[in-house]
C-alpha cells in the first residue's frame, strides 16, 4: 500500500505534482525542491519531479536567497551586526542553516551582500519618489529631505540605515564590510551631488565648498539623526534634525 508524505509550507503554496519511487508516493513540495536546489549534483536514482524545469529550481534558489537577504536587513538593524547570529537570520527567514550556508559562506559574506541589497532597494525607492519629478534642483534637494522625514515610520529597524549600522561596528574589524558600506553611501551621496551642482548653477551662487562635501554633510545629518533616534527610542528627534537640515539648505541657496 503506497504511503503519502505531506509537508506543510504555508508561505509557498507550490505543491501539486507527484512522483512514484517504488512503493513510496512523494508529494512534491517546496521543501523537496529546496533540497534539490541545495544539491550541486544529482545522484543516480534521485527523483526528479515531472513538470519541474531547471528554471523553476533556479527561481526557488533565487527566492530563498532573497528571503535571507530581506531577513538580514531587519535583524541586523535591530540587533547590530556583532550580536546577530546566523541562527537569528535563519529563524527570521524561516530556513535552516543548511539553506543559509548554501548561499553564503559566512555572516560576513552575507553582510556584504545585504549592504548591496539594501542599497539597491533604497535607490529604487528614492528614484521613484515624488520629489524626483520636480524640475527645480533645489526643490528636489528639499523634497529629498521632506521624503526622508516622511518615511520615519514604524519601528526603528524599519527606517534606520543598514549601512550606517554595520559600518559603526565593523570599520576596524571587517574591512570588506566597511568598504562596501562606504561605496554604497558614496553612491547615494553622488545622486544628491548632481542636484546640488545643478542648484549652484541655477541660483548663481559661488560656494567655498564642494558639491560632494555638501552631499556628504547631508548624509552625516541623516546618519546622526538615526543614532539619536536609537538613543531616545523615538523618531521625533530625527524629524527635528531633518527640519534643521532643510532650513540650512534654504539659507545656503538664499531661499528665505
Residue 74 within a domain: no
Residue 232 within a domain: yes
Q: Of the given ranges (53-67, 79-93, 119-133, 188-202), which has the lowest mean pLDDT?
A: 53-67
- pLDDT, tens digit (0-9, with 9 covering 90-100), for 69-115: 999 999 999 999 999 999 999 999 999 999 999 999 999 999 999 99
Structure-model confidence comparison of residues 8 and 118, the more confident one? 118
- Same domain, yes or no: 23 and 113: no
Spatial CB neighbours of 92, under 8 Å, sequence gap ≥ 6? 71, 72, 74, 75
Residue 77 within a domain: no
- Same domain, yes or no: 26 and 130: no
- Same domain, yes or no: 22 and 135: no
Residue 228 within a domain: yes
Mean pLDDT of the chain: 83
- pLDDT, tens digit (0-9, with 9 covering 90-100), for 106-156: 999 999 999 999 999 999 999 999 999 999 999 999 999 999 999 999 999
> What's the rounded mean pLDDT across residues 239-251?
98
Residue 69 within a domain: no
pTM score, two decimals? 0.76
Task: Collect contacts of 164-170 with beta carbons under 8 A, ≥24 apart.
Answer: 164/223, 164/226, 164/227, 165/76, 165/77, 165/80, 165/81, 166/76, 166/81, 166/111, 166/115, 169/80, 169/81, 169/82, 170/81, 170/111
Spatial CB neighbours of 19, under 8 Å, sequence gap ≥ 6? 25, 26, 28, 47, 48, 49, 50
- Same domain, yes or no: 234 and 121: yes
pLDDT of residue 226: 97
What total of structural domains would you count in the chain? 2
- Same domain, yes or no: 145 and 239: yes
**Whole-angstrom Cα distance, residue 236 to residue 126?**
22
pLDDT of residue 211: 98
- Same domain, yes or no: 242 and 134: yes
**Whole-angstrom Cα distance, residue 21 to residue 24?**
5
Nearest to 143 by CA among 24, 70, 250, 2: 250
pLDDT of residue 59: 53
Q: Tell me, what CATH number does 115's domain have?
A: 1.10.357.10
Residue 39 within a domain: yes
DSSP 5: E
- Same domain, yes or no: 124 and 245: yes
Decide if pLDDT at 42 tops 90: no
- Same domain, yes or no: 238 and 129: yes
Residue 42 within a domain: yes
- Same domain, yes or no: 45 and 122: no
**pLDDT above 70 covers what percent of the chain?**
76
Nearest to 135 by CA among 211, 192, 202, 204: 202
Decide if pLDDT at 55 tops 80: no
> What's the rounded mean pLDDT across residues 153-164?
95
Cell 553564503 identifies what position? Answer: 104
C-alpha cell of residue 111: 553582510
Residue 95 within a domain: no
Give the domain range for residue 202.
106-252
- Same domain, yes or no: 130 and 217: yes
Amino acid at each position: 500500500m503506497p504511503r503519502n508524505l505531506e509537508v506543510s509550507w504555508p508561505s509557498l503554496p507550490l505543491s501539486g505534482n507527484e512522483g512514484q519511487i517504488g512503493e513510496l508516493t512523494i508529494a512534491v513540495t517546496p521543501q523537496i525542491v529546496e533540497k534539490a536546489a541545495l544539491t550541486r549534483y544529482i545522484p543516480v536514482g534521485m527523483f526528479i519531479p515531472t513538470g519541474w524545469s531547471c528554471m523553476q529550481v533556479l527561481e526557488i534558489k533565487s527566492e530563498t536567497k532573497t528571503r535571507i537577504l530581506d531577513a538580514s536587513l531587519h535583524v541586523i538593524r535591530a540587533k547590530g551586526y556583532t550580536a546577530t547570529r546566523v541562527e537569528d537570520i535563519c529563524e527570521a527567514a524561516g530556513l535552516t542553516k543548511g539553506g543559509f550556508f548554501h548561499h553564503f559562506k559566512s555572516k560576513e559574506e552575507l553582510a556584504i551582500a545585504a549592504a548591496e541589497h539594501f542599497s539597491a532597494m533604497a535607490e529604487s525607492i528614492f528614484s521613484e519618489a515624488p520629489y524626483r519629478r520636480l524640475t527645480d534642483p533645489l526643490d528636489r534637494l528639499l523634497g529629498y529631505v521632506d521624503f526622508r522625514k516622511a518615511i520615519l515610520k514604524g519601528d526603528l529597524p524599519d527606517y534606520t540605515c543598514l549601512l550606517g549600522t554595520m559600518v559603526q561596528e565593523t570599520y576596524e574589524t571587517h574591512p570588506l564590510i566597511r568598504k562596501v558600506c562606504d561605496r554604497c553611501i558614496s553612491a547615494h551621496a553622488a545622486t544628491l551631488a548632481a542636484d546640488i551642482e545643478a542648484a549652484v548653477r541655477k541660483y548663481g551662487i559661488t560656494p567655498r565648498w564642494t558639491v560632494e562635501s555638501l552631499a556628504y554633510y547631508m548624509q552625516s545629518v541623516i546618519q546622526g539623526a538615526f543614532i539619536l533616534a536609537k538613543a531616545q527610542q523615538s523618531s521625533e528627534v530625527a524629524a527635528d534634525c531633518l527640519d534643521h537640515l532643510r532650513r540650512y539648505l534654504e539659507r545656503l541657496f538664499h531661499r528665505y
